[in-house]
């Protein structure tokens, strides 16, 4: 009995110590589990924050892509509008060019017809006295000094007036023709009535204008006179033959181009 009495308290203490050890282990295990749980929570929170940041970045990229796509669409629309405008402008220019070409062809045709009429009307004169040529849509009637004037004079002689009458007949029945009359001389200085070749060439041009207008009734609003002196030669002034060709009066006939000028102005 005495041994039992001694042993029982020891058992109680042992049991209590064992219970205390078990409780402490559980406590430590729970603390470890709590720390692990907190670490997991922190890790998850970091992941959530990272995911939110990624989502925000992706949303920003989506907004930027949408804005870029909208700008591209606007640029494409503007480019398409410009392309349409360019096509329309090209079509208008093409139509204008075709109209211009048609008018130029008409001018050439009219000039060719006028050249033939002048050639026929002046067929009674030799090539040494006058020539009729066509250039750049105009008809050039070049009359020599020998046909029209005595040397150093601006008085038109009889044969010259006959040539001008034939020319005037064509002009009167073709009222849509502009007439430029140019006086030309050689390089030999003039002596006598006129102070220089400028005055002589101008006087000869105006003398022909007066005959065409006053005698043969060509419309004065279509006639222009000018003197070029020695400064527009057709041959060299170093030979007598060249100087003879340079002493001339040119009557330049141009079909009127009102429609052409109107088209160019649009």
Question: For the chain, what are the domain ranges?
Answer: 114-265
Q: Is 73 exposed, middle or buried (0-12, 13-18, 19+ CB in 10 A)?
A: exposed
CATH architecture observed for domain 114-265: 2-Layer Sandwich (3.30)
The answer to whether residue 10 scores a pLDDT higher than 80 is no
Is the Cβ–Cβ distance between 257 and 176 less than 8 Å? Answer: no
Nearest by Cα to 185 from 177, 196, 176, 175? 196
Query: Whole-angstrom Cα distance, residue 168 to residue 155?
Result: 18
The single-letter DSSP state of residue 194 is S
In whole angstroms, how large is the CA radius of gyration of the chain? 55
φ/ψ of 96, rounded to 5, equals -65, -40
Q: What is the mean pLDDT of residues 233-238?
A: 96
* Amino acid 95: pLDDT: 81
The answer to whether residue 264 scores a pLDDT higher than 60 is no
Higher pLDDT, 106 or 201: 201
Per residue in 238-261, pLDDT (tens digit) is 999 999 999 999 999 988 765 555
| Least confident residue range of 85-94, 148-157, 189-198, 215-224 | 85-94
Query: Whole-angstrom Cα distance, residue 222 to residue 159?
Result: 24
* Amino acid 156: pLDDT: 97
Report the range out of 7-21, 24-38, 128-142 with the highest average pLDDT: 128-142
The single-letter DSSP state of residue 239 is S
What's the 3-state SS for 81-143? Answer: HHHHHHHHHHHHHHHHHHHHHHHHHHHHHHHHHHHHHHHHHCCCCCCCCEEEEEECCEEEEEE
Query: Whole-angstrom Cα distance, residue 248 to residue 217?
Result: 23
Q: Is 162 exposed, middle or buried (0-12, 13-18, 19+ CB in 10 A)?
A: middle
């Amino acid at each position: 009995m005495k041994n039992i009495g001694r042993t029982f308290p020891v058992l109680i203490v042992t049991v209590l110590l064992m219970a205390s050890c078990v409780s402490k282990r559980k406590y430590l295990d729970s603390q470890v589990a709590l720390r692990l749980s907190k670490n997991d929570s922190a890790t998850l929170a970091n992941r959530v924050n990272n995911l939110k940041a990624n989502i925000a970045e992706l949303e920003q990229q989506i907004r930027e892509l949408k804005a870029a796509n909208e700008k591209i669409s606007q640029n494409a629309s503007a480019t398409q509008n410009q392309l349409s405008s360019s096509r329309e402008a090209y079509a208008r220019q093409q139509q204008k060019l075709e109209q211009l070409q048609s008018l130029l062809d008409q001018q050439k045709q009219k000039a060719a017809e006028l050249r033939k009429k002048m050639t026929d009307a002046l067929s009674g004169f030799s090539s040494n006295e006058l020539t009729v040529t066509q250039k750049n849509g105009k008809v050039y009637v070049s009359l020599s000094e020998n046909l029209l004037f005595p040397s150093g004079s601006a008085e038109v002689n009889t044969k010259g007036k006959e040539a001008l009458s034939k020319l005037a007949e064509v002009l009167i029945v073709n009222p849509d023709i502009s007439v430029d009359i140019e006086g030309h001389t050689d390089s030999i200085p003039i002596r006598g009535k006129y102070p220089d070749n400028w005055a002589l060439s101008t006087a000869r041009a105006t003398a022909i204008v007066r005959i065409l207008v006053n005698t043969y009734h060509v419309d004065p609003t279509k006639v222009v006179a000018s003197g070029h002196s020695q400064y527009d030669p057709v041959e060299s002034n170093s030979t007598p033959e060249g100087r003879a060709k340079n002493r001339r009066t040119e009557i330049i006939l141009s079909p009127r181009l009102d429609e052409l000028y109107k088209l160019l102005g649009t």
